[in-house]
């Protein structure tokens, strides 16, 4: 089977989820090519898992200090280039397209009649999961952004719907360091993050950001972006401060890390993630970088891990099977573990 796998690159969660699935898909009779879009090639990092991959412009998201800049985003996206990439993408010879919320591969498959399986957290929003009222435009965009013939969604809990647990890499938890806090807030200004955590000198803050080398300022360490280094530090920290993206928050839950989240203002998916996390009692949220909230959260208790089942192996078996079961059966079989 020859697969074209499209991955949305505006955040790192889609890339991390794809990395978790690749080992289960790699089989002698399977050939996979990867297409990424949503940011320039030079901004991707730790991409050795994907071999020779392509990067297309796609659709980008402009943000500033934790808020989506709607007008700038509209002006920055070149719709004609996007449509040309959809038209020019050669799908001849591919048996299947997989799209993790990547629109070029998804729309190209739709126009050419090639089967397309969508694998994303966004697909879970088709079902009765915790969601905010309103935001009709965001809901419409989410529904048409990356069309598919089959859509498989991931969420923190099944909510009695045919969705799957988070697709995350299985790693062993390290010895917890009670005063070590991991910080990744890719949508915030680094200076704002440093100012936010600076007064809490009794804690060690390991911040990951777009810097070229490690910088140390007493109890604050700023690390360059690295998938492997980040997950090593995730093992032994006592808590995680982040925006409300799905993949990192899922990993924090699986490691039993307490979670403090600040959703990207106006971003429907992240706002819904906060609602879902609060519904299962597993996160503290803040609308701004509020030091009072941080002080209370730091003094709060540790959390127990949520032992999510292996998703990659049964999902890969399902994708590659000539006789796929219905999604409810797939979902039940995985959650039952």
Domain layout of the chain by residue ranges: 2-167+309-335, 180-298
Which residues in the chain show pLDDT less than 70? 61-71, 73, 75, 171-175
Task: Identify the residue whose tokens are 């699986």.
Answer: 254
The contacts found for 48-55 with CB under 8 angstroms, 24 or more apart, are 49/19, 49/22, 50/18, 50/22, 55/9
Q: How far is CA 105 from the centre of its chain?
A: 18
Estimate the crossing angle of helix 136-144 against helix 268-279, to 10 degrees: 100
The predicted pLDDT at position 63 comes to 64
DSSP conformational letter for 162: S
Q: Are 71 and 43 in contact (CB under 8 A)?
A: no
The predicted pLDDT at position 61 comes to 67
The predicted pLDDT at position 174 comes to 58
Beta strands in the chain (DSSP E): 2-8, 31-37, 54-56, 63-64, 67-68, 96-100, 116-120, 150-153, 180-184, 204-209, 215-217, 220-224, 239-242, 258-261, 284-285
Q: What is the largest CA-CA distance in the chain?
A: 59
Domains 2-167+309-335 and 180-298 share a fold: yes
Cβ-based neighbours of 59, under 8 Å, separated by 6 or more: 10, 37, 38, 77, 82, 103
CATH of domain 2-167+309-335: 3.40.50.2000
pTM of full prediction above 0.95:
no
The predicted pLDDT at position 191 comes to 95
The topology (CATH level 3) of 180-298 is Rossmann fold (3.40.50)
Q: Give the CB-side neighbour count of residue 5, counting CA atoms within 13 A.
A: 25
The predicted pLDDT at position 178 comes to 80
């Amino acid at each position: 089977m020859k697969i074209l796998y499209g991955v949305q690159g505006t955040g790192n969660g889609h890339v991390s989820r794809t990395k978790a699935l690749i080992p289960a898909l790699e089989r002698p009779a399977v050939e996979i090519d990867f297409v990424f879009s949503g940011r320039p090639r030079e901004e991707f990092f730790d991409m050795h898992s994907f071999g020779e991959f392509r990067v297309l412009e796609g659709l980008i998201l402009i943000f500033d200090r934790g808020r989506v800049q709607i007008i700038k985003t509209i002006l920055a996206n070149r719709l004609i280039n996007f449509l040309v990439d959809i038209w020019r993408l050669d799908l001849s010879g591919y048996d299947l397209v997989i799209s993790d919320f990547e629109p070029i591969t998804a729309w190209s498959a739709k126009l050419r009649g090639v089967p397309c399986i969508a694998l994303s957290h966004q697909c879970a929003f088709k079902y009765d999961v915790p969601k905010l009222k309103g935001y009709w435009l965001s809901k419409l965009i989410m529904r048409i952004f990356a069309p598919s013939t089959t859509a498989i969604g991931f969420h923190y809990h099944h909510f009695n719907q045919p969705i799957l647990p988070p697709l995350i890499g299985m790693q062993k938890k390290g010895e917890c360091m009670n005063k070590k806090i991991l910080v990744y807030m890719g949508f915030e200004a680094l200076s704002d993050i440093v100012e936010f955590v600076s007064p809490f000198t009794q804690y060690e803050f390991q911040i990951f950001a777009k810097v070229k080398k490690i910088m140390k300022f007493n109890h604050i360490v700023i690390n360059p972006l690295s998938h492997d280094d980040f997950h090593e530090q995730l093992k032994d920290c006592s808590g995680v401060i982040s925006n409300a993206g799905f993949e990192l928050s899922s990993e924090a839950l699986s490691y039993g890390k307490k979670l403090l989240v600040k959703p990207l203002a106006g971003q429907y998916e992240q706002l819904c993630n906060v609602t879902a996390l609060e519904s299962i009692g597993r996160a503290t949220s803040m609308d701004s970088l509020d030091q009072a909230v941080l002080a209370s959260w730091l003094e709060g208790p540790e959390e127990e891990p949520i032992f999510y089942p292996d998703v990659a192996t049964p999902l890969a078996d399902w994708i590659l099977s000539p006789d796929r079961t219905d999604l409810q059966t797939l979902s039940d079989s995985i959650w039952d573990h």
